[in-house]
């Protein structure tokens, strides 16, 4: 039997909620979000704490968090030593959350805190994972909608998990799911895929995203593309098979074109065009074989790079400072 360390909540008579929020340059959004969370959480019969993870912010995010922590000990923070990325920051918060359930959300006010009671209602019904699906796209540009739809289509097509369009990192997970996540130490974790892969009983809730309160989205086009490749290569080797199929396809095209090239070169038939010396080798070799090799080597390189980084056994994140006290652990059998 494999044993893992899990937090002990047996001393509490009231269930506790932990809210985990990664933050990168969100100094203006955090006070507004905390106020909105308090309006919702203070009405509930649960204990709670809110854990902000400062992912190497360059503004006054950590100063705001320290002030809020001094005013209310339930508002806690983790400051990472540098920017480790949204998924690693989220993993840091999950690793240190001690609630009977953990709610993950972003710090830009686009994930409505008002949805939390609905999450908790489904959790009390027995669901281990309650996730959200964004259904309203009125405040999102057409480019963002198109790239989002393309992302989910690629992930579902090329990976071994199925993700519903509009799902993200706004969700509730039960304590046993959070304990299971403690076992994962993958480089560049794709948490929304990992949680889907874990199984357990899951339920989706639709919601309309709010407008970002302040600042700009941290997800540029290049980051979205990288995130898509990260998700696909984390759960499947289908891209490698795709490279093989692509190789066969280009070889077939080459085979079809070759008779035309040879005929036009040796006959000089002007009706179909004359191929000058060297044209055949340049066109066939560079455009077909050269491009094909780059594609295949790039796909293989991504997988090799993941193996290389994972073999180093480096931590997913490094904590510079935190307001969270050392948690207590029990041994739990799975």
CATH 3.90.320.10 fits 3-236+315-333, yes or no: no
Q: What per-residue confidence (pLDDT) applies to 297? A: 74
* Domain ranges within the chain, ordered by starting residue: 3-236+315-333, 238-311
Q: What per-residue confidence (pLDDT) applies to 233? A: 63
34 alpha carbon, distance to own chain's centre: 23
Provide the β-strand partners of residue 79: 54, 321
193: its two tokens: 């895929």
Highest mean pLDDT among 186-190, 287-291, 297-301: 186-190
Note the pLDDT tens digit of each residue in 115-124.
Answer: 999 999 999 9
Name the average pLDDT for the chain.
77
- What is the pLDDT confidence band of residue 329, given thresholds at 50, 70 and 90? very low
Output the furthest CA–CA distance in the chain (Å, rounded): 91
b/e string for 271-285 if b means 16 or more Cβ within 10 A?
eeeebeeeebeeebe
Query: Mean of the pLDDT values across residues 128-155?
Result: 71
Pairing verdict, β 16-23 and 47-54: parallel
Q: What per-residue confidence (pLDDT) applies to 68? A: 94
Share of the chain above pLDDT 70, in %: 61
Rounded distance, CA 131 to CA 113, Å?
A: 13
292: its two tokens: 């094909």
Q: What per-residue confidence (pLDDT) applies to 279? A: 62
- What is the pLDDT confidence band of residue 196, given thresholds at 50, 70 and 90? confident
- What is the pLDDT confidence band of residue 100, given thresholds at 50, 70 and 90? very high
Task: Mention every residue, 6+ apart, whose C-beta is less than 8 A from residue 96.
Answer: 51, 78, 322, 324, 327
161: its two tokens: 């998990």
In the chain, helix, strand, coil percent, each to 5? 45, 20, 35
Which alpha helices (DSSP H) does the chain contain, by range?
Answer: 29-41, 61-71, 86-96, 116-125, 142-158, 175-181, 191-198, 221-235, 238-267, 279-282, 291-311
Q: pTM for the whole thing?
A: 0.70
């Amino acid at each position: 039997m494999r044993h893992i360390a899990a937090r002990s909540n047996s001393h509490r008579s009231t269930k506790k909620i932990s809210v985990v929020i990664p933050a990168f340059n969100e100094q203006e959004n955090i006070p507004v979000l905390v106020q909105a969370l308090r309006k919702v959480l203070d009405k509930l019969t649960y204990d709670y704490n809110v854990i902000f993870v400062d992912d190497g912010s360059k503004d006054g995010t950590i100063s705001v968090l320290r002030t809020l922590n001094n005013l209310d000990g339930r508002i806690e923070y983790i400051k990472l030593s540098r920017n480790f990325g949204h998924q690693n920051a989220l993993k840091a918060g999950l690793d240190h959350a001690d609630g009977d359930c953990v709610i993950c959300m972003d710090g830009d006010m686009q994930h409505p805190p008002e949805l939390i009671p609905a999450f908790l209602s489904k959790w009390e019904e027995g669901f281990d994972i309650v996730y959200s699906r964004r259904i309203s796209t009125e405040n999102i540009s057409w480019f963002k909608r198109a790239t989002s739809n393309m992302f989910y289509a690629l992930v579902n097509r090329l990976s071994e998990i199925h993700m519903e369009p509009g799902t993200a990192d706004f969700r509730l997970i039960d304590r046993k799911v959070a304990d299971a996540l403690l076992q994962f130490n993958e480089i560049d974790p794709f948490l929304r895929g990992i949680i889907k892969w874990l199984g357990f009983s899951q339920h989706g809730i639709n919601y309309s995203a709010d407008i970002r309160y302040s600042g700009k989205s941290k997800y540029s086009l290049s980051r979205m593309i990288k995130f898509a490749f990260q998700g696909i290569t984390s759960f499947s080797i289908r891209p490698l098979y795709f490279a093989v199929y692509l190789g066969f396809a280009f070889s077939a095209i080459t085979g079809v074109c070759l008779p035309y090239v040879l005929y036009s070169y040796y006959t000089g038939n002007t009706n179909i065009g004359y191929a000058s010396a060297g044209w055949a080798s340049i066109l066939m070799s560079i455009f077909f074989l050269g491009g094909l090799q780059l594609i295949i080597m790039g796909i293989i390189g991504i997988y090799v790079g993941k193996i290389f980084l994972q073999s180093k056994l480096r931590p997913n994140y490094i904590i510079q400072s935190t307001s969270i006290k050392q948690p207590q652990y029990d041994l739990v059998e799975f």
